[in-house]
Amino acid sequence: AQSVTQLGSHVSVSEGALVLLRCNYSSSVPPYLFWYVQYPNQGLQLLLKYTTGATLVKGINGFEAEFKKSETSFHLTKPSAHMSDAAEYFCAVSEGYGGSQGNLIFGKGTKLSVKP
Amino acid sequence: GAVVSQHPSRVICKSGTSVKIECRSLDFQATTMFWYRQFPKQSLMLMATSNEGSKATYEQGVEKDKFLINHASLTLSTLTVTSAHPEDSSFYICSARTGWETQYFGPGTRLLVL
């Protein structure tokens, strides 16, 4: 069975500081990994995804994440936080090809606060 | 990019009534649509998966007769909450997928049952 663990339900950074949101996964097959962002009272927006190939993935809004198989991690980073980055972030895993229907399994989410 | 819409964005209804929520993929054909429920400050819980033209597959613990899902076309799925009660109040989010990789999410529907 697959699972996702997001360390830290709440992360607070200062504007301009590095953003690091942690995600670890477990999967019995090669995973597809995703980061989504949710603003208050809105749905989820895809930030970036890893399927195959390059392990460093760049997404929208300056975010990137690196797939590290040996550490079963897919941490999300951004060099310099903006106030507009304040939101809830969800890491998700789905089975790759050969799996079932590739349903998403979500972590519990990390709320990012950005201080001026 | 792929856009998914939901209607209504929020709805208030009386206990015992039924509420229908629509989910549409606007610029792509979605062979699979998903319905999630999100409780305050929690993650998304998958309720059911629907494939166009076939019956929905419900997750364990989700009542099929309570949450009716119809996926009549490649661009529309509906979720009907039947005989709604206050405990059904929640944020309902749909997503749609083309291919095997990426789900695109709708903006969500806030349901409040009085």
- Interface A:B, Cβ pairs < 8 A: 48
Helix (H, G, I), strand (E, B) or coil at B87: helix
Distance CA B109, CA B98 (A): 22
Q: Give me the amino acid identity at B31.
A: T
Contact B43 A101 (CB under 8 A): no
Give the DSSP H or E segment for A103: none
pLDDT of B111:
96
> For residues B29 and B9, is the Cβ–Cβ distance under 8 A?
no
State both tokens at B40. 């305050």
Chain A closest-CA separation from residue B83 CA (Å) = 24
> For residues A50 and A33, is the Cβ–Cβ distance under 8 A?
yes
Residuewise pLDDT in 10s, chain B (114 residues): 688 999 999 999 999 999 999 999 998 888 889 999 998 878 888 999 988 888 899 999 999 999 999 988 889 999 999 999 999 999 999 999 876 667 889 999 999 999
Block residue for tokens 């090809």: A97
Distance CA A13, CA B72 (A): 46
Burial class (CB in 10 A: 0-12, 13-18, 19+), B89: middle
Q: Give me the amino acid identity at A33.
A: L
Chain B closest-CA separation from residue A79 CA (Å) = 26
Comparing alpha-carbon positions, the chain B residue that sits nearest to A5 is B43
State both tokens at A1. 């069975």
Chain B closest-CA separation from residue A43 CA (Å) = 4
Most B-contacting residue of A29, A41, A44 (CB-CB within 10 A), to test interface? A44
CA-based nearest residue to B109, from B29, B37, B15, B31: B37
State both tokens at B37. 């429920």
pLDDT of A27:
83
Q: Give me the amino acid identity at A75.
A: H
Q: Give me the amino acid identity at A84.
A: S
> For residues B91 and B81, is the Cβ–Cβ distance under 8 A?
no
Helix (H, G, I), strand (E, B) or coil at A83: helix
State both tokens at B107. 């903006």
Contact A104 B101 (CB under 8 A): no
pLDDT of A43:
85
Chain A interface includes B87 (CB < 8 A): no
pLDDT of A100:
40
> For residues B28 and B34, is the Cβ–Cβ distance under 8 A?
no
Interface of A with B (CB under 8 A): 32, 34, 36, 41-46, 49, 51, 90, 94, 97, 101-104, 106-109
State both tokens at A109. 């989410």
Residue A43: which of B46, B93, B100 has the nearest Cβ? B93
Contact B107 A42 (CB under 8 A): yes
Helix (H, G, I), strand (E, B) or coil at A70: helix
Residuewise pLDDT in 10s, chain A (116 residues): 778 999 999 999 999 999 999 999 998 777 889 999 999 878 889 999 998 889 999 999 999 999 999 999 999 999 999 999 999 999 999 865 443 446 788 999 999 999 99
pLDDT of A99:
37
